[in-house]
Amino acid sequence: MEENHTPQDEDDQVPSTADALEEGDEGDELYEHHRIRADKGQELLRLDKFLLNRLPSTSRTRIQNAIRAEAVQVNDRPAKSNYRVKPLDVITITLPEPPREFKVVPEPMALDIRFEDSELLLVNKPAGLVVHPAFGNWNGTLVNGLAYHLNNLPTGRNGEIRPGLVHRIDKDTSGLLVVGKTEWAMTHLSQQFFHHTIERTYLALVWGVPKETSGTIRGHIGRSVKDRKIQAVYPDGEQGKHAVTHYQVLRSFGKVALLKCNLETGRTHQIRAHMKHIGHPLFGDATYGGDKIVYGQRTGAYKSFAESALAMMPRQALHAKSLGFVHPTTHERLHFEVELPADFEALLAKWEQYAE
């Protein structure tokens, strides 16, 4: 018996090209997770051979890398390749995103790379750039640029280019992404995302000021039954997947506030949906109602000011500020930060002047 889970299952319900979320806004964490229970009549069999039999589309190399990274567990404990699978054993395995059924066309692109070694790189993605090729965006994506930059991207069994991604951010969100350059790095990083040991900090400008200076938002997130282009929060857990966002108010400007958000989980539009749920949608976020005046009178001088602020940054005010993780080969704990983009800085300066 096998239960398969992917981040698309968790974040995105695996949308078809016909009912995908808005272009470029795909899931956050990119891995596949399998849970397999051995049959009652299972004969003793090496763990690696057992997994090859149960996951015929997965290569021996991917399975061996997962075992080395302790991404394979038997009855909730890491196991070696030579472990003998017994009847009713429960085996879980976390793997990088599986190969796609399309070819990635390498395209020259100016990439803002902040760190790179033989295993991985950190890229600072500008707002407006789609991360991954998908329906409506087959070219001009970050992955197309990465394919050009990295001639040795990991390849799938049939030779198609693997993008090396283990997570994504929305098209109109700026900030840091970590990219695995080898199958081993992708496996190791995917394991860290699955166990929520990756440190991710975002800066968000929201409408209004939360009553508490810090807090935690807990609420399942899943595709809205009313509008399939957005994600809804289901606080009772009747739908969607478990999601947790921690926030802290950094600065208050009266009608808006700058928050630091730390993700404990990685769901599609998690911060955007969670902040909308508590009544503080992201400034400029058209998908979740933040592209109009939410706090303050819609008349007079304030109306003119707020509308001009919205016009100067016509996207959600969200920036992936920092990433922290363990390096796949050196095992050193790394931490990276990037500055706010110019449009976000200018927007904050405008609100700061208004609040004085």
Question: Considering 25, 170, 172, 285, which one is annotated as catalytic?
Answer: 170
Contacts of 90 (CB under 8 A, 6+ apart): 35, 36, 37, 38, 74, 75, 76
DSSP letter assigned to residue 136: T
227 is catalytic: no
Q: Are the C-beta atoms of residues 137 and 129 closer than 8 Å to each other?
A: no
Gap between the Cα atoms of 284 and 308, Å rounded: 11
Neighbour tally for 94: CB within 10 Å: 22
Residue 351 contacts residue 313 (beta carbons within 8 Å): no
Q: How far apart are CA 303 and CA 187, in angstroms?
A: 50
The Cβ-side half-sphere exposure at 107, using a 13 Å CA radius, reads: 14
- Residue 140 is classified by DSSP as S
Please answer whether residues 184 and 207 qualify as being in contact, where contact means their C-beta atoms are separated by less than 8 angstroms: no
Backbone angles phi, psi at 230, to 5 degrees: -125, 165
DSSP string, 163-177: --BSB---TT-EEEE
How many residues would you count in the chain? 356
Answer whether 106's CB lies under 8 Å from 148's CB.
Answer: yes
DSSP, collapsed to helix, strand or coil, labels residue 65 as: helix
Q: How far apart are CA 29 and CA 12, in angstroms?
A: 10
Cα 286–chain centre separation: 20
Q: What are the catalytic residues?
A: 170
